[in-house]
């Protein structure tokens, strides 16, 4: 798999800011991690994606920044539309949804930009939201979204013909959304593929391993379910959730309570003794409403190399198992593997590193050690002379 780290951790919204973040964070993180080349999964807000798709000079500036920092682009995160680092994001991250023409335009702009920045002969991926938030959806929305994704798959087929690059959309199940779980996306997408409404060559699944863990799904079963439905895992977002073994324990409630914050939603799921899963849309709500009779998993992307202080845990075991399961599927080695820890700035006080470059580099070293096979090439593997130290 090709390893990259997602730049949605950085708040830049314009071209100057994105270039600055590549120079000040991505390039230095590559050096600190001991990598010859670092993959980046760019987050481009909609206005910037439109500019880059239409302005050759702007695109050339971005290409120059990637090249001088020895950064390789194969994937784009097109889930957040804009303002992903606003003071309060919450439900806004799911807007516009896939019933809005603006979502299609944004995704097509990202595809065009990616096709022009990919390495020669390489394919690309774009991750996107799971249609929309569940309470903001109707039967008409579902019909429109199906039509728009069908149109997108035809446009991506045409783009492959014109550019030589296959760009694939990866729909990312997330707790609380229309497509909450892997089972949801299989039930929604597989019939539309079967009747020809959507082309599975260009539309597949983004497996975010934090979301997967929060749903309490077994990674191997989830990956097998996708494959048996004739769908492909286009992209894995390498991420880990918080786990609370006993949320009835006052010490554990206090420990997880400090992760409640106002910018992002932190959905919580509770596993009951009978195997059912209870749901809450945010951590502060869960602390008030869930019965705490079973373990919790919390949608809070914790740095992969970070071991939470007892009594909390991290779900990196789910991540490792999911990546292994995807890699074992036919074509699994072509899946893009993007480290997506966007929550550095909202970690509780005392847990946010003073040096973000060092934090990202430590996370990348963990990913290389735990997730990337030793045969990987320079885009995903440390320099030979530093490999021993990194491991």
Q: What angle do CA 100, 339, 152 make, to 5 degrees?
A: 25
217 and 122 both lie in a single domain: yes
Give the pLDDT score at 353: 77
183 and 278 both lie in a single domain: no
Sheet with 313-314, strands from edge to edge, namely: 277-280, 268-271, 296-298, 242-244, 313-314
Rounded to the nearest angstrom, the gap between the alpha carbon of residue 192 and the centroid of all alpha carbons in its chain is 24
7 and 90 both lie in a single domain: yes
Task: Tell me, yes or no, whether 46 lies in a domain.
Answer: yes
Confidence band, pLDDT 50/70/90 cuts, at residue 373: confident
Pair type for strands 38-43 and 71-77: parallel
Task: Tell me, yes or no, whether 305 lies in a domain.
Answer: no
Domain end position, chosen among 277, 300, 323: 300
Give the pLDDT score at 173: 98
384 and 350 both lie in a single domain: yes
138 and 177 both lie in a single domain: yes
Average pLDDT over every residue of 56-75? 98
How large a percentage of the chain has pLDDT more than 90?
Answer: 92
Task: Tell me, yes or no, whether 306 lies in a domain.
Answer: no
Contact 302, 238 (CB under 8 A): no
Dump pLDDT digits (tens) for 296-349: 999 999 999 999 988 999 999 999 999 999 999 999 999 999 999 999 999 998
Domain count for the chain: 2
Dump pLDDT digits (tens) for 249-266: 999 999 999 999 999 999
178 and 290 both lie in a single domain: no
| Residue of 223, 7, 260 whose CA lies nearest to 127 | 7
Q: Is 119 helix (H, G, I), strand (E, B) or coil?
A: coil
| Residue of 124, 112, 119 whose CA lies nearest to 54 | 112
Confidence band, pLDDT 50/70/90 cuts, at residue 387: very low
CA torsion 129-180-131-87 (nearest 10°) is -50
Task: Tell me, yes or no, whether 308 lies in a domain.
Answer: no
Per the structure, the complete domain to which residue 201 belongs is given by: 2-240+315-390
89 and 187 both lie in a single domain: yes
Give the pLDDT score at 375: 53
Alpha carbons 246 and 345: distance in angstroms, whole number:
27
Domain end position, chosen among 273, 300, 327: 300
17 and 87 both lie in a single domain: yes
247 and 231 both lie in a single domain: no
130 and 92 both lie in a single domain: yes
Give the pLDDT score at 354: 78
Give the pLDDT score at 250: 97
225 and 255 both lie in a single domain: no
Q: Is 216 left (phi over 0), alpha (psi -120 to 50) or beta?
A: left
Mean pLDDT of all residues belonging to the chain: 94
Q: What are the two backbone dihedrals, phi and then psi, of residue 14, each rounded to the nearest 5 degrees?
A: -120, 175
Alpha carbons 240 and 246: distance in angstroms, whole number:
18
């Amino acid at each position: 798999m090709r390893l990259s780290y997602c730049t949605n951790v950085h708040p830049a919204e314009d071209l100057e800011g994105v270039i600055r973040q590549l120079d000040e964070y991505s390039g230095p993180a590559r050096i600190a991690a001991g990598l010859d080349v670092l993959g980046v999964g760019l987050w481009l807000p909609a206005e910037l994606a439109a500019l880059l798709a239409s302005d050759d000079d702007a695109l050339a500036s971005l290409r120059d920044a990637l090249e001088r920092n020895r950064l390789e682009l194969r994937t784009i995160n097109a889930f957040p539309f804009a303002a992903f680092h606003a003071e309060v994001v919450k439900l806004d991250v799911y807007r516009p949804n896939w019933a809005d023409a603006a979502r299609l335009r944004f995704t097509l702009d990202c595809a065009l930009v990616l096709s022009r920045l990919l390495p020669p002969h390489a394919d690309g991926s774009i991750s996107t939201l799971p249609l929309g938030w569940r309470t903001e959806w109707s039967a008409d929305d579902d019909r429109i979204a199906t039509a728009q994704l069908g149109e997108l798959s035809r446009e991506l087929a045409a783009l492959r013909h014109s550019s030589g690059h296959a760009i694939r959309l990866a729909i990312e199940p997330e707790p609380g959304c229309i497509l909450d779980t892997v089972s949801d996306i299989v039930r929604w997408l597989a019939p539309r593929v079967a009747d020809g409404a959507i082309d599975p060559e260009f539309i597949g699944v983004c497996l975010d391993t934090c979301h997967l863990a929060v749903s309490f799904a077994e990674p191997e079963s989830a990956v097998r379910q996708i494959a048996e439905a004739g769908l492909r895992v286009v992209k894995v977002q390498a991420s880990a959730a918080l786990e609370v073994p006993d949320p009835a324990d006052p010490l554990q409630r206090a420990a997880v309570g400090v992760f409640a914050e106002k910018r992002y939603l932190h959905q919580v799921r509770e596993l009951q003794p009978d195997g059912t899963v209870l749901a809450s849309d945010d951590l502060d709500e869960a602390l008030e409403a869930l019965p705490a009779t079973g373990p919790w998993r919390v949608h809070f992307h914790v740095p992969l190399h970070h071991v939470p202080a007892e009594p909390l845990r991290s779900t990196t075991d789910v991540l490792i198992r999911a990546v292994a399961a995807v890699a074992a599927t036919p074509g699994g080695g072509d899946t893009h593997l993007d480290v997506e820890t966007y929550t550095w700035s909202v970690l509780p006080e005392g847990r946010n590193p003073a040096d973000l470059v060092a934090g990202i580099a430590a996370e990348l070293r963990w990913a290389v050690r735990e997730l990337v096979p030793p045969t990987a090439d320079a885009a995903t593997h440390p320099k030979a002379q530093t490999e021993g130290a990194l491991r």
